[in-house]
A and B are shown apart, each in its own frame.
Chain A
Amino acid sequence: GQNIDQPTEMTATEGAIVQINCTYQTSGFNGLFWYQQHAGEAPTFLSYNVLDGLEEKGRFSSFLSRSKGYSYLLLKELQMKDSASYLCAVRDSDYQLIWGAGTKLIIKP
């Protein structure tokens, strides 16, 4: 079966750095996505990786290792507004998106 694993919940301090991991086992790979979802709101796109390596976008970076079936989302200079769930999703060989359950990130002052 296909599976996306992420930690259920993480806590970090305002101003700090946090890394949210995602491991996947899917039938094929055609890209990995990170979305942010604030409570009661819609998911919004953060990043897309299809090749190995690090993609940096402001305070957020996303890393991919296809050989390890692994990605992480790195959030720097954490702000209170970063409190949200972070969803990892992988596009499989049929180009279907497989979603993880998300990691709820709690930011403390």
Chain B
Amino acid sequence: DTAVSQTPKYLVTQMGNDKSIKCEQNLGHDTMYWYKQDSKKFLKIMFSYNNKELIINETVPNRFSPKSPDKAHLNLHINSLELGDSAVYFCASSQDGTNSGANVLTFGAGSRLTVL
């Protein structure tokens, strides 16, 4: 059983298109995240979300929007794709959104987006 699963694993699309990446976790975690890993391998937080609060990294363009139908799912929608959006997008989850203890992240396998 995959703890955090995201689809698709690979996505190749044209500039200007709209696309979505889906994420599901079966760990019963309260908080989910979207990260972007660029070509330099830095992981950058895009969003974190639990039932109560959506936290948006202010540097993320508003073309990106998270949508959470329920606690186990956090999908990422991207409008008007640009070349610079090409990256690997990781979904992750953690037990809760509190800041105590380790609050370890469990990551999905990643979705590699290529914008042509």
Asked if A and B bind, the verdict is yes
Choose, from B59-67, B68-76, B78-86, B107-115, the stretch at the interface.
B107-115
Number of interface residues of B (CB under 8 A): 17
- B99 in contact with A101 (CB, 8 Å): no
In the complex, which residue of chain B has the Cβ closest to the Cβ of A31? B102
Number of interface residues of A (CB under 8 A): 22
B43 interface neighbour in A40, A91, A95, A99, Cβ under 8 Å = A99
CA distance A85 to B41 in the complex (A): 10
Chain B, interface SS category = loop
User: Knowing A30-B99, A33-B102 touch, does A42 contact B108 (C-beta < 8 A)?
Assistant: yes
- B107 in contact with A48 (CB, 8 Å): no
Q: Which residues of B contact A45 (CB under 8 A)?
A: 102, 104-106
Q: Which residues of A contact B102 (CB under 8 A)?
A: 31, 33, 45, 48
In the complex, which residue of chain A has the Cβ closest to the Cβ of B109? A42
Q: Which residues of A contact B44 (CB under 8 A)?
A: 99
Q: Indicate whether B45 reaches chain A with its CB closer than 8 angstroms.
A: yes
Q: Mark B84-109, 1 if CB is under 8 A from A, else 0.
A: 00000010000000010010111111
CA distance A87 to B109 in the complex (A): 16
- A101 in contact with B42 (CB, 8 Å): yes
Q: Indicate whether B40 reaches chain A with its CB closer than 8 angstroms.
A: yes
CA distance A89 to B104 in the complex (A): 11
From residue B73, how far is it (CB to closest CB) to chain A in Å?
18
From residue A103, how far is it (CB to closest CB) to chain B in Å?
10
From residue B109, how far is it (CB to closest CB) to chain A in Å?
5
Q: Indicate whether A106 reaches chain B with its CB closer than 8 angstroms.
A: no
Q: Indicate whether A13 reaches chain B with its CB closer than 8 angstroms.
A: no
CA distance A41 to B112 in the complex (A): 11
Name B residues whose Cβ lies closer than 8 Å to a Cβ of A: 4, 40-45, 90, 99, 102, 104-110
Task: List the 10 shortest-distance A-B pairs measured between CB atoms, nearest first.
Answer: A42-B107, A95-B99, A48-B102, A99-B43, A45-B104, A101-B41, A102-B41, A42-B109, A43-B107, A101-B42
